[in-house]
Every structure is written in structure tokens, then in C-alpha cells.
Structure 1
Amino acid sequence: MSLVDSTEENTPLLKGDADSMQDAGRSRWRSIRVMYFTMFLSSVGFTIVITSIWPYLQKIDNSTDASFLGWVVAAYSLGQMVASPLFGLWSNHRPRKEPLVCSIVINIAANVYYSYLYLPPSHNKYHMLLARVFVGFGAGNVAVVRSYVAGATSLNERTSAMANMSACQALGFILGPALQAALSFIGENGFSIDVISLRLNMYTAPALLAACFGVINILLVLIVLREHQVDDHGKQIRAINYVSEERLDVPPEVEGNIDQVAVLTSNILFFIILFIFAVFETISTPLSMDMFAWTRKQAVLYNGIILAAIGFESIIVFLVVKVISVRFGDRPVLLTGLAIIFIGFFILLPWGNQYPKIQWADLQNNSLPALVRSSVSNSSVEPTGCPSDQIWCQFTPVIHLAQYLTSDILIGVGYPACNVMSYTLYSKILGPKPQGVYMGWLTASGSGARTLGPVFVSHVYTMLGPRWAFSLICSIVLAAIVLLMAMYRRLIAFSVRYGRIQE
């Protein structure tokens, strides 16, 4: 379908044409809101278990350690990294309902699998690893969601729509940990449903709830979602019902080459941003247990509350970003966000001459033999504090709760601003061309960061401690700031680059 010319634009619309356009507009925004909700549920499905993974892993397999936790957290992103380009390619050539429904079904099955990890007689930690891979594979639909919203909005609508989508993601970020914190009152033992061999406790209930959310998501996609695409000016360039791309005429706005250097730069920046946050969310539970001598249950509850608070903070940031980006532009907001993240991690560096409570001291005081942490995890007396097998605990200053909370607040401001600005800017760089594959690569880039980040921080933290871990993160953030400043002039919208729209 070709675009109408200027004379046709000035021709008065018949009432039927106007009604048809209004119906198309309403259908378009209903479909976009389904994508918002899909992103919301995807976020809930991830965060609802994130604070309980470590204690659950310790409970089902006492041979595990903090290094393996990094692999478990990374497994989600590894699955997403593999799936995102595939689902993105699928969505470029077929109705988006197909990859969306397929991915959600995989996600539901994986969450059910996660709920039964205690059943295998051995190697339970590897079953958890596999379950998280499949949960992540199902979450590869994020590429489809982003490409749909990017293609169904005009350039002027894009930042607001992306911010709304991120706000929905943040709502899920709030609700997930909040639900986990609420479900923690079921306790570690909970109760059993013998008919289906299910132990419903504080670890399995969140995953089952995420599976229920997935069923709701499938129904919404099947019933409400319709195919829409508009150009940078907001004109409909695709029929409401799916039409094969080979049958569409290419509008003039689509002509031109995408700046591949800007695309690569955007992917690198997005990688760094998600790498940083993956480090933060992975290390929060072990760090708080080591530094504040929290028990497993306390760590799940308190970090759930903290992450929920950060999610609420993120919503406020998204609302502010929508206004600020209109006035100052996307790139300055992105640069400011990176600077705030740097300050947040710098504050988290350990200083002073106070040291964390050592776990072996607790064991001696309770007249228990000097066993490693894993061997006493099922004891009636749960050891707390920094484990003695982490040598750095004996000479690294303690990180105070005030430092931890201040860092949480700053990262809760910087990360959402960087997140929404990075992929909003990316979608504008791509312009009106089909974005499924490109968004797939962006999501894969972020998933790669979420894969490497947890592995990186769990190993560095376990072997060298928080000072080395957070110093390296500060260096990475500085590198991102330098890259952004160096490529600043190339990170512009497709239509601006070709002079069709003034910046």
C-alpha cells in the first residue's frame, strides 16, 4: 500500500473514512497496550523469583556455591539471547501472534519445571540451570514487543510509548519482588499437594503464579492484538490484518541506509547498561547476607522490598524522562543516567576500618564444628555473616546499610533512564524499516550482558570481594560515557539523518 500524495491529504474525508481511521487508531493503541501488558508480565515473571533463587538453590542442592549462582542467573539471559533474534526474524515475516504465543507457552512450561526442581534425586542445581534457560528462551519475545511498539508509533509518539512500556516493565519489577516478599510468609516448608507431588512454599509459589500470568497473557494476545504499522509521521502503512511484506509498496520514508556504526554503538551501550544492572541484581542477595548478616529468609524479604521500592522509583523516573527528553533530547538524558549510575557504584565501594561479621565466629560461638557454609545450610542454626571461605572477608571493610540503600536509590534513577533512552534512540536510528531482527539483536545484546554480568560478578566477588568487583564496574561505566560522547553526533533518528524531520 503506497502513501497518499499531498493532494489526497487535503481532500476532505467522508464520514465513513474518518470512522475507519478512528477505529484503526483505537485498534492500534489497544494492541500497543497489550504489548505494554506483555512486557509487564514478562518483568513480573523474571523478578518474582530473582530474590529467592539463591536460597532456593542452597536448599535443593547443598553442593552449590555463589559462583554457580552466577551461572543460574545468567542462564535466563543466555536463553533470551538465543531466542530473541529468532523470534525477531519470525515476527518480520509472520503475524506477531505466532512468536508471542509460542514464547509464552515455553515460559509457562519452564516455570512449572522450576516449581518441581526438588524432585530429582541428584544434580538439582543443573535442573535449575536448565529451567532458567527455558524461562529466558520464552522471554525472547521482548524483541517482538519492542519491534511492534516501534513500528506502530510515529517518531513523536515513540519516546512516550517506549517510556510507557518501560513504566509497565517497572510495575512488573515492583510487583514481582513484592509478590515474592508476600509469598515468603508461606515459609520454606509450606505445604504439599500430594495429588500432583507439589510442594507449595516460598520458592515454588512465585514460579507457579508467573505461569498463571502467562495464561492470561496468551488470552490477551489471541483476543486483542492486531497488526499495525505506521511511518514516522504516523500514517498507516500496513493493513490492520496481516499482509505479507512482499505485497507492500515501499514508502519513500523507508528509502535510505541505516547507520550501522550507530546501530553497533547502540548495541554496545545497551550491553553495558544491562551488564551493570545484571551485576547489581545478582549480587544484592549474597552481598546483603555477607555484609549485614541476614538469614536467607531475611535476604529474600528485605531485598524484595528494596527491589520493589526501586521499581516504584523507576516509574517516577520514566514519567520524568518523558518530559525531560522532549526538552533536552534523548542523548543528554542517556549521558546523565550513566553519570548517576557511576556515582551509585562508586558509593558502594567499601571504606573505613570496620569489617563484616565472619561466619565461622558464629559457628564457634554456637559450639559447632568449623564446617563450610554449605554443610550447615540445613542445620537448625543457620550461620550468618561473611563466610570464612571467602578470604577477603577478613580484610575488606564492611559495606554499611546506608551505603547500600544510597546506591540502590541512585542506580534506581540512572538505570531506568538509560534503559528507556537507549532502546528508544535505537528504534529511531532504525527508522520505519522492519525492526524485528534488529530489535532481536538488541535484546540479544542485553541478554548477553545479563549472561556475562552475573558470571563476572559472582566469580570476582567470591574470589576478590566487593572492592574489586565495584571498581571494575565503575571503569566499565566510564568507558560507556566516553563511547557515548565520541559517537554523540551519529546517534540521531533515521528521518533526521536524511533531513526529512528536523531534530
Structure 2
Amino acid sequence: MFLSSIGFSIVIMSIWPYLQKVDQTADASFLGWVIASFSLGQMVASPLFGLWSNHRPRREPLVVSLCVSVAANCLYAYVHVPASHNKYYMLAARGLVGVGAGNVAVIRSYIAGATSLQERTGAMANTSACQALGFILGPVFQTCFALIGDKGVTWEALRLQVNMYTAPVLLGALLGVLNIVLILVVLREYRVDDSGRQCKNVNFEEANVDAAPAPQGHIDQVAVLATNVLFFVVLFIFALFETIITPLTMDMYAWTQEQAVLYGGIILAALGAEAVAVLLGVKILSKKAGERAVLLGGLLVVWAGFFILLPWGSRFPMVQWEDLHNGSAPGPTFGEAALGLWKAPGDHSEAPTGCPLVQAWCRYTPVVHLAQFLTAAVLIGVGYPACNAMSYTLYSKILGPQPQGVYMGWLTASGSAARILGPVFISQVYARRGPRWAFGLVCGLVGLAAALLGLVYRRLVAFSERL
């Protein structure tokens, strides 16, 4: 998970300038499709890899998915070669990287099957912490690759350009190969029941005659569905929060795009470090309070964070009074907001700052103070990782010792759908109605999720506890 997370996040910062370089017809809306293609690919592939892992040794879908990722990264490095339609090759490459990332379902199902109930929470939290750490270090490595420059070095024999855009994906491909070697050499498959006793398993390459049969029983489908919905909400709210940081800070504090990207990147990096600490802490807290209580507490903390983001008071944001006859869209869309993520700090523009008057709410909606925003970010940074880890843990315990590949695939797919829909939702509501409506609706959504958790609270128990 750590190496895969680095391989994904190390590319994010360079997508937009590379897309512009290889195909000048690409615009902000197409960038949005390139970004979304990863989640679309993962959403489609996760259940398929999960089904595969239920009936065959897990190393098979893991190795195949990593081979797809390696090939996709190599394709990404060569999208400059075709004479035309380069942007579609990049779209395909990112989609295939998402297909390879569908192995998350296999990884989670392996952890669930290889740990007892006592070990499950700690193992899931450790996995999430490794994933979060990889997302933190990826952009750091990307910054280092920026030293190579735009032109870099060209290997004519292979028509390969090694520059600040392709070096990250080549490293991602190398990490994928390393992952394949580790799986083939190190990974040993075994399966235990909730008490830690070894069970018979189709994933074994050699049957163990001494292994106990897996306990039989029906999975609580209501609990499964409820957990999928809760997981969707958890990833939905964090995806929209990541998306809204840049346009919100530009509108509320009259930051330039460069300032919003720089400070927003610092905030997200700090939230990533905070997430690692939180994930290590919930391992201890869940043993005392239980996973359900930690999940509920995390939702309440997230709700408090978005409630604090609601505009209050009599002070209003600075409004742009520049000429409005420029055909601009009402506020930044998802793709346009994402453009700032790939602008270099030195790319200073003379664009006006403040809340654009084409967003009518700028004239009557109070400002979200910086202290509000930072406090909310800290709270969301506490609640999100706790909810994420507890959702996975509860889900795996509800499913029990049976092969969980397909179910984990659906859970991963629901998270991928959330990462697609979250940015679309927040960009549309924010641009048309402003932060009061946007964050108010999010508060309502989180409140409904907490209410759903309350309704099914008694059903979210381990499989063995229902027998």
C-alpha cells in the first residue's frame, strides 16, 4: 500500500503541464476527465479483482494488477510519441493506472482473512497509515524531480524522454516491479477465523488437512449495505473538501492562485501527517471504546468541522469589481480549480483577486474567516482517517472469515464513485449558491450518515458474534 500510494501521488502534481505539453488542444474540462479516469478505472476493476481473489491465490490478481500499472505508467511516459490525439492516450494511461489500483480490494481482503478479530483493527489502521504516508511523500519526490527540468534527457534509441513529467511515472513503474518481486518472493497466503485458528482456503496453493473449516452462516446484508453507504459518505466529504480548498481560499482571502496552491499544499501535507498520527491513535482508542463508537465519533468531528465552515458575522469577502464582460464561467469548475495544482510558484499572473462578482453570493454571504477554515481543516483531518479505518475494519468483521474479495471490491468501488461525485457536487453548489449552501448540505449529509449509523448500530457486529 505504501509503495502503491507513492506511485500514484508522485504523478499528481505534473499531470496538467504534461497534458498541455503533449496536446495543446487539452483544456480544463478534459483535465477533469483525466483526473476522474483513475477513479473510474478503479471502480470497474475492484469487484473483478475481488472476485478473482475469492477463487484463486491472491498473488495472481495482485501480480496482474501491478503489471497493468507498470504498463500504464510506461504508456504515460510515451504519450508524447503519437502524432495526434495524445490527450486520449494520457486519458487511457490514467484509466489503466486506476484499473491497477483496483488491487486495493484484494489487499484489504487478504488482511481481513489473515488476521483475527483482535488483530484486525490494528492491521487495518497500519495499512491506512502506510497509505497516508505514501500520499504525503509522493509530492515531495515530485518536487525533487522538478530539478530535472522540462527538457531533461532524451534516449533516442527508445524514443524515451526523461524529464520532470516522465521521471515520476518511471519511478512509479519501478516501484510496481519491486512490488511484484515482493509479492512473488515474500507473500505467503493463509487464512484464519475470527479466533485466529487457521482455516481451509481456496487461496492456499497446498491444502492443509489440519485446518478447520470456515464457520458457516449468512452475512448480514443490511449491515453490509449500510457500511458501503457510510464509506461512500466518508470519502465523498473528504474528496469535496480537497477540491474546494483552492477556490474557497482565493474567494475568501483574496489569495492569488499561486498562494492558494502553495498554502493549500502545505495544509494538505499537514493533514496527511495528522492522519498518520490519528490512525496510530485509533488503534488504542478502538480497543477501549470499540470501532462503532470511534466511527460515530469521527462522523461527529467531521460534522463539527463543516459546521464551523459555515459563514457567520457581518464581514464580507473582497469582491472583484473588474470588467465582467469576459465570458467567464460563474466561479471555478472542478477542472479549473485543479489547474492551480500544477502552476509553478513563479508563474505570476495579473488576474484579479477576491470573490468574483459573477458569483452573486459574494455580495451577501459573510466571509469564512481564516481561523474558521484552519480549525475546520484540523477537525476534518481528525475525523476522516478515523472514519476511513473504522469503516474498513467494521466491514471486514461483518463479513467474517469467508473470502471477502468481491465485497471489498464493492466497498472500494463505492469509494471510487465518491471521489468522482464529490468534486462535481461541491464545484456546482459552491459556484451557484456559495459556501453557506455547500457546507450546509454537507452538514446535512454527515448528519444523515450519523443517523444511519445509529439505526444500524446494533447490527454492525462481527460475524462470529451473530452465530
Scaled to the shorter chain, the TM-score interval is: 0.7 to 0.9
Given the alignment, which residue of 405, 419, 435 partners 2:374? Answer: 405
Question: What are the within-5 Å matches in structure 2 for residues 19-168 of structure 1?
Answer: 39-51=1-13, 53=15, 61=24, 64-65=27-28, 69-116=31-78, 126-168=88-130
Given the alignment, which residue of 283, 287, 303 partners 1:326? Answer: 287
Aligned to 1:492: 461
Shift of 1:266: 0.8
Aligned residue identity for 2:174: C
Does the 8 Å CA contact 2:307/2:439 hold for their aligned counterparts?
A: yes
Shift of 1:132: 2.5
What secondary structure does 1:254 align onto?
A: coil
Residues 1:454 and 2:423 are matched in the alignment: yes
Query: Please, which moves more after superposition, 323-332 or 345-354?
Result: 345-354
Aligned residue identity for 1:315: V
Given the alignment, which residue of 264, 267, 273 partners 2:228? Answer: 267
Aligned to 1:382: 349
Aligned residue identity for 1:316: A
Aligned to 2:359: 391
Given the alignment, which residue of 273, 276, 281 partners 1:315? Answer: 276
Distance 1:322 1:102, change over 3 A: same
C-alpha distance in 2 between matches for 1:481 and 1:57: 41
Aligned to 1:211: 173
Percent sequence identity is 60
- TM-score, scaled to structure 1: 0.79
Residues 1:236 and 2:198 are matched in the alignment: yes
Distance 1:240 1:446, change over 3 A: closer
The number of aligned residues is 449
Does the 8 Å CA contact 1:181/1:304 hold for their aligned counterparts?
A: no
C-alpha distance in 2 between matches for 1:222 and 1:427: 25
What secondary structure does 2:219 align onto?
A: coil
C-alpha distance in 1 between matches for 2:139 and 2:161: 22
C-alpha distance in 2 between matches for 1:120 and 1:287: 38
Distance 1:117 1:282, change over 3 A: farther
Shift of 1:292: 5.0
What secondary structure does 2:204 align onto?
A: coil
Aligned residue identity for 1:198: Q
Aligned to 1:280: 241
Query: Please, which moves more after superposition, 274-283 or 172-181?
Result: 172-181
- TM-score, scaled to structure 2: 0.84
Distance 1:389 1:55, change over 3 A: farther
C-alpha distance in 2 between matches for 1:290 and 1:62: 29
Shift of 1:491: 0.6
Aligned residue identity for 1:93: H
What secondary structure does 2:193 align onto?
A: coil
Shift of 1:414: 0.4
Does the 8 Å CA contact 1:78/1:133 hold for their aligned counterparts?
A: yes
Does the 8 Å CA contact 1:290/1:387 hold for their aligned counterparts?
A: yes
Shift of 1:348: 2.6
Residues 1:338 and 2:299 are matched in the alignment: yes
Aligned residue identity for 1:141: N
Query: Please, which moves more after superposition, 416-425 or 231-240?
Result: 231-240
Gaps of 5+ in 1: 1-38, 499-503
C-alpha distance in 1 between matches for 2:153 and 2:258: 20
Does the 8 Å CA contact 2:38/2:99 hold for their aligned counterparts?
A: yes
Residues 1:305 and 2:266 are matched in the alignment: yes
How large is the RMSD of aligned CA atoms in angstroms?
A: 3.5
Rg larger for: 1
Does the 8 Å CA contact 1:227/1:240 hold for their aligned counterparts?
A: no
Given the alignment, which residue of 140, 148, 154 partners 1:193? Answer: 154
Aligned residue identity for 1:104: L
Shift of 1:48: 2.7
